[in-house]
Structure 1
Amino acid sequence: MPEQFHRPVRRPPAAFDNLVGAADPAEKSRVAHATASALLRRARQDETGETTERLIAFTAEHGIDDIAELWSLAPSRSLPGALWRLYLLQIAIRSDSATAALLYERGRVELRSADAAIAGAPTPASPDELTALVDTILRGVFQGDFSVALDRAAAYCRVQASGATHTADDYESTEPGRASDLTRRALRLSGYADDLSAAAGLWRSGALT
């Protein structure tokens, strides 16, 4: 799996220690939550949608900057933690959309659930269509129903996880290294799905902070 899936940062987060004290986790957490809330509020207050489009275009081209890297330290089931996972999905798809499309289609065929319908990708989905899907989900985060966007992202992760699991089985006897990579990818995506679903529920109850 591309390294970007883990930490899609195009420049080192050297500014962190200047932004908040390196030995002050509480302050880092406060800044992470404050910046996530401010970003979401600013995008949602812009009825033209221009702020949302700039956010999507910027991260697609440049990756995640220092502030978003700070979100990676936040609890997985928090506002900054959820936004971090959404941006990871965007970068992961854009960095290798062909593999994403292959795994998504395999998962769609194998998974006996409504997740593919909830995610909302075409059937079958091309690499470009999957890229468009994740951008659409991000637009929903900043302009639409936030909990619905999180549910769609969670469903996408479950479909991808299923595809990665079944593809790993295919490679187990011939390419065990590749099979292991795919299995780790499936586990990571399953974890993201659980976190994003939980975050959606917290948002609906007014408890996602």
Structure 2
Amino acid sequence: MSEPARHHRPIVAADLERLVEGSVEGEPSARMELAHATAAALVSVGRNTAGDDEPTDRLVRLADTVGLDTLAELWRGAPPDSLPGALWALYLLRTWCTENGSEVARLYRTGRSLAPVDEVVAGVRDDADPNAIAAVADDVLNGLYQGELDVALERGAAFFRVVAAGREFLATDGPDGDAERHRAGRNRACADGLGRAADAWRDGTLP
């Protein structure tokens, strides 16, 4: 199991940065092809080394290593129900939960009673404190690489829906509340894309 991890290690750091630098001025079709190729390569690496914690941990912390901006350049423009689009949503979720854990925890705790089914699927510990929020974001990415990929996508989707419910409930009247409702809509759009991606993975049609 150690040989694949050593062979693929450059792909999750320097090579991703190099690919992004070469793609910035590229044609949209070429950039989309690169998005799909890199997403498929990462998932393949992760699933081929399942059971080996070291390479999986590197993949989970990929945004910490190469920077979220690098992943955005690669994947943000992909359809939300595609593999690169789903990866972008999950890495964005992890970064958000890690860097803004208190705020995400507040939204999640508010929304959990408003979306009880999604709250169960998301699987956040009962206290739903910032540590629990960060842990579930790591668990979702771990599941992407070491568990059932569709289940990981569904957990991510459920998490976004609970947060969206919390945002909507807490939104006040006026411009600030309108901004929060807009963010809730974006959270739901992420959830819908991840849900469609999970269905496509089960059907063998995930692009």
Shorter chain as normaliser: what TM range?
A: 0.7 to 0.9
Unaligned runs of 5+ in 1: 1-12
Instruction: Measure, in 1, the Cα distance between the counterparts of 2:71 and 2:113.
Output: 38
Matched, 1:27 2:25: no
Instruction: Measure, in 2, the Cα distance between the counterparts of 1:152 and 1:61.
Output: 24
Residue 120 of structure 1 is matched in structure 2 by 123
User: Considering only aligned residues, what root-mean-square deviation do their CA atoms show, in Å?
Assistant: 2.1
Residue 158 of structure 2 is matched in structure 1 by 155
Residue 83 of structure 1 is matched in structure 2 by 87
Equivalent of 1:201 in 196, 199, 202 = 199
Instruction: Measure, in 1, the Cα distance between the counterparts of 2:117 and 2:149.
Output: 20
- Please give the TM-score of this superposition, normalised by the length of structure 1: 0.84
The amino acid that maps onto 2:42 is L
Secondary structure in structure 2 of the residue aligned to 1:110: coil
Secondary structure in structure 2 of the residue aligned to 1:109: coil
> Displacement, 1:67?
4.7
Matched, 1:95 2:93: no
Equivalent of 2:67 in 60, 63, 69 = 63
Percent identity reads 37
- Please give the TM-score of this superposition, normalised by the length of structure 2: 0.85
Equivalent of 2:76 in 69, 72, 76 = 72
> Displacement, 1:69?
2.3
Aligned residue pairs, count: 191
Secondary structure in structure 1 of the residue aligned to 2:205: coil
Cα shift readout 1:7-45 (whole Å, capped 9, x = no counterpart):
xxxxxx996775137251111111110010001101111
Residue 137 of structure 1 is matched in structure 2 by 140
Cα shift readout 1:24-77 (whole Å, capped 9, x = no counterpart):
111111111001000110111113132110122342466325255211111111
Unaligned runs of 5+ in 2: 1-15
The amino acid that maps onto 2:39 is A
Secondary structure in structure 2 of the residue aligned to 1:77: coil
* Distance verdict in 2 for CA 1:166–1:39, change over 3 Å: same
Runs of 4 or more, structure 1, over 3 Å off, are 13-18, 60-63
